[in-house]
Amino acid sequence: MGGAGAPEWLIREDAGQPVLLALYLRQVLGIRSPEELPHLRGIPARANDRSAAAQDALEEQWRAYWAMTVEPQAHPSAVPLELVDEFGTSLALPSEGAEVLRRAVVPHAAEALAFAQSANERYRKEASHSSGTTYRAYAGAIAEHERQVGRRAHAFELNVQVLPLNQRGVWWIGALTIAVTDGLRGDVAAFDAAIHPIIAELA
């Protein structure tokens, strides 16, 4: 995006099924990381009845899976990935070092897949009704930033995951990736105010 001769900026917005799937599993497995990110709406969190060592192992493996899911190019697996059969082609985990996580996620496969698909379809339906406004939301914020700093925006990339979280807000979940609550994304004025600091940091 950006005009001819202008620095390029690229913003990708989605409610990605891999991210939704990872967050569903995070919640039903009772994983705290990342602690600043709220829970999904309507999904009961699991009471943690594991030993501290088992919980630590699970959380460490989930954090690696989360990083690969959010920004796969920045966090490639050091070993080959293997599909988890119960998830079809939707979930692949490292062939080594993810055994605890692999065992833990299997019982939740059907519900996790159904949730991720439903939430993604809901986002796509809502996005199709606001064709053109997605570009304008970001272009307007960038134009305002340029007016404030008195120069063209630097080239940057930003990935935006629009998620059904139970608190309104914006959170960094990767070096180039933010999560925004779906309700906030749908509030034009509030989203404009929330995205400005993000644009200022990047551009």
Please give the Cα distance from 175 to 45 (Å, whole number): 27
Convert the pLDDT of each residue in 119-129 to its tens digit.
999 999 988 87
Between 48 and 161, name the one with better pLDDT. Answer: 161
Average pLDDT, the chain: 91
Convert the pLDDT of each residue in 88-117 to its tens digit.
999 999 999 999 999 999 999 999 999 999
Tokens of 48: 């943690």
Q: For residue 38, name the pLDDT band (cuts at 50, 70, 90).
A: very high
CA angle 37, 77, 98 (to 5 degrees): 70
**Section 146-175 average pLDDT:** 94
| Structural domains of the chain in order of their starting residue, each with its CATH number | 17-113 (no CATH), 126-202 (3.30.2010)
Q: Tell which residue, 33, 24, 85, has the closest CA to residue 62.
A: 33
Q: For residue 46, name the pLDDT band (cuts at 50, 70, 90).
A: confident
Q: Which pTM does this prediction carry? A: 0.91
CA angle 18, 102, 109 (to 5 degrees): 55
pLDDT number for residue 135: 76
Please give the Cα distance from 32 to 38 (Å, whole number): 10
